[in-house]
Amino acid sequence: MELIKNEHFLREYLSVDETEDIDLEVEENLQISLLIANFDIFSNRKITAKLKENSSLSIAVADFSRGKGNFTVEADILGKVASFEIRGSSLALKNDNKRFDIHLIHKFGNSKGLVSLHGIAGGKSQLTFDGVSSIEKGAKKSNTRQEAKIIVIDSSAFCRCSPSLEIDENDVIASHGAVEGRLNDMELFYLESRGIEEKEARRLIAMGYLSPIARYFPNQIQEKILTSAEGGI
């Protein structure tokens, strides 16, 4: 993990093709962003984070690797007005079996959480998004959102999305959405009706799923993300 930006209350870390676990304590008033890109091997990995008052942690995960394992994130919000975000895009192909497990606990109020995962499953792969965001009693005015979306591009691939919420406090905003699906016929029809061939239409839609994660990364990694997405599809 490389520290690529270090300003007053701002740290940015980049981890490319690494597999070791990461343990972060986000001190009061500090903002950390953690950029994780995998192009090589997918294996078990765990990210643990503790967020103190008025701190924030944003994680971006761009996963274009091959392999099997669980990518687990455990984030605890341990102070008020803290914010945790994770955005991820994953491409599963061949015999990959990838599972993303995100656990977020809001223990203090006025805190924010966002879990947003996008995936594409092709070949004989399995891709699972799982996770629980919980808001404990007393963590008033917290706001948490989970969204997960996977599309399957080959009939032999398998996907499952099961984000869930556990809320023990009334005065909060919480929402979640999960979509598992095939490439949408109406989306394909729209593109094809403009002359775009089916294969190219599928590529455009799949890139639309995977490429938005790139913007969180430095330039040379952005390029690698886009070429890996292109090459994979």
Q: How far is the CB of 118 from other proteins (least distance, A)?
A: 8
* 200 sits near other proteins (criterion: CB under 8 A): yes
Cα–Cα distance, 42 to 69 (Å, whole number):
6
Binding mask 167-186 for other proteins (x = CB under 8 A): ------------------xx
Detail the DSSP E strand segments found in 93-135: 97-106, 112-121, 126-135
Longest dimension (CA), the chain: 56
Residue (104 or 213) nearer to other proteins, CB: 213
Of 81, 196, 221, 226, which one interacts with other proteins (CB under 8 A)? Answer: 196
Enter the tokens of residue 171. Answer: 């005065």
Cα–Cα distance, 14 to 48 (Å, whole number):
16
Binding mask 56-95 for other proteins (x = CB under 8 A): ----------------------------------------
Q: How far is the CB of 164 from other proteins (least distance, A)?
A: 23
* 190 sits near other proteins (criterion: CB under 8 A): yes
Those residues whose C-beta lies under 8 Å from the C-beta of residue 215, and which sit 6 or more positions away, are 222
* 9 sits near other proteins (criterion: CB under 8 A): no
Q: How far is CA 192 from CA 55, 99, 155, 227, in A?
A: 47, 33, 21, 24
Q: With beta carbons less than 8 A apart as the criterion, state whether 5 and 11 touch.
A: yes
Q: Which residues bind other proteins (CB under 8 A)?
A: 185-187, 189-198, 200-201, 204-205, 207-209, 211-212
